Amino acid sequence: MTMREYSERDIHLALDGELPQDERAAYERWLEIHPDMEAKRRRYEADRDLLHGAVAGVLDEPVPDRLTKIMAGETRPASSNSAPRWRMAAAALIFAAGGLGGYFLGASGWRPVNGTAIQLADGAIAAHAIYAAEKLHVVEVGADQKEHLVGWLSKRIGVTLVAPDLSAEGFELIGGRLLPAAATKTAAQFMYQDRTGNRISLYVARDSSNTETGFRLLEEGDTRALYWLDDGYGCAVAGNLPEEVLVKVADTAYRQLLQGMKG
């Protein structure tokens, strides 16, 4: 009997407990003869545990009535200082309880992964891989023209932006650039660097679908992106850094972007 050829999608299904029970034995045999896929499975499990640990204190707190209503689809998330904290908890719940199988926690409960979000993350990773390695042309407009940079990018992508202050996480703004984007035509990239030369980038684009998602992690090669859609925009934090660093940066960026857009 010929074994069915499994894929990375089946790894996600298995982690979520959604792979049919009668396929489990064949799936495990497939992993045994595909060590690269077994390595991916172990990495996805580790990512899930890491994100759970990053917000373990939040998960131990009582769930606010407001979040319970959001999860039930009874109300939409409100902008507040506590919202990002609970959004990070929701992200951890997806990894810890729901796994990596293609579902977000949004304003109306669990929903399939949004295609725009995936394109956003792919664009962020590709752009980071290209420009973070540059020596002379990392950005189009430097941090010394920050006000001009933010105004220019806001106008071009149609979203009121801020360049988040990530100094608390050890990163300083280098500058930014305008980029083409598959789903949204244009995107903004802000590039940051720490004292040791490590770079991360913030990739922001307009989302006309007005979809709201939880945070989600995408990894391509050595580059990772933590990304989300919220309130008319999409954002991804990309870098060749550990997930816990991206989580902290994403939390800070989310708060400041939201405050900037609300004026």
Q: Is the pLDDT higher at 222 or at 143?
A: 143
pLDDT, tens digit, for every residue of 95-125?
333 333 333 333 333 344 456 777 888 899 9
Q: Rounded distance, CA 142 to CA 151, Å?
A: 13
Predicted confidence at residue 3, as pLDDT, reads: 66
Q: What share of the chain is helix, strand, coil (3-state, %, to 5)?
A: 45, 20, 30
What are 220's strand-pairing partners?
223
pLDDT band (50, 70, 90) for residue 170 = very high
124: number of Cβ within 10 Å: 30
pLDDT, tens digit, for every residue of 123-139?
999 999 999 999 889 99
pLDDT, tens digit, for every residue of 63-77?
445 444 444 445 444
Mean pLDDT of the region 5-27: 83
Whether the pTM exceeds 0.85: the reply is no
pLDDT, tens digit, for every residue of 237-258?
999 998 888 888 998 998 898 8
7-16, 35-44, 162-171, range with greatest mean pLDDT? 162-171
Predicted confidence at residue 95, as pLDDT, reads: 39
Q: Which structural domains are found in the chain, ordered by start?
A: 8-104 (no CATH), 113-262 (3.30.200.100)
Q: Rounded distance, CA 249 to CA 52, Å?
A: 16
Res 38 pLDDT > 50 = yes
Res 8 pLDDT > 50 = yes
